[in-house]
Chains A and B, each alone.
Chain A
Amino acid sequence: MRVRVEVKKRVLLATLMGELDHHAATQLRTRLDRELAKHKIKTLIVDLSQVGFMDSSGIGLLIGRYRQMQLSGGRMCIISASRTVDKMLTVSGIRKLVKVYRDPKIALEEGLANE
Chain B
Amino acid sequence: MNEMTVSFLSVSENEAFARTVIAAFIAPLDPTVTLLNEVKTAVSEAVTNAIVHGYENTQGMVTMHAILDGRKLTLSVSDVGCGIADIEQAMVPTYSSKPHEERSGIGFTVMQSFMDKLDVVSQPQKGTCVMMEKQL
CB within 8 Å: A-B pair count = 68
User: Quick check: which of A2-10, A49-57, A69-77, A98-106 contacts chain B, the rest being far away?
Assistant: A49-57
Partner of B102, one of A55, A61, A84: A61
- Closest B residue to A19 by CB, please name it: B16
B44–A91 CB distance below 8 A: no
Please indicate the chain A residues that have their CB under 8 angstroms from the CB of B52 in the complex: 22
Total count of chain A residues near the partner, CB < 8 A: 22
For A1-33 the 0/1 string (1 means CB < 8 A from B) is 000000000000000000101110110010000
Cross-chain pairs A/B with CB under 8 angstroms, 8 sampled: A23-B12, A53-B37, A55-B41, A55-B44, A55-B45, A55-B110, A56-B110, A91-B109
Task: Write the residues of chain B forming the contact surface with A, with a CB cutoff of 8 angstroms.
Answer: 12-13, 15-16, 19, 33-34, 37, 40-41, 44-45, 48, 51-52, 101-104, 106-107, 109-110, 113
**New A-B pairs, 14, CB < 8 Å, besides A56-B45, A61-B102, A92-B110:** A21-B48, A23-B13, A25-B102, A53-B44, A55-B44, A56-B103, A56-B104, A56-B109, A57-B104, A59-B106, A60-B104, A83-B33, A88-B110, A92-B104
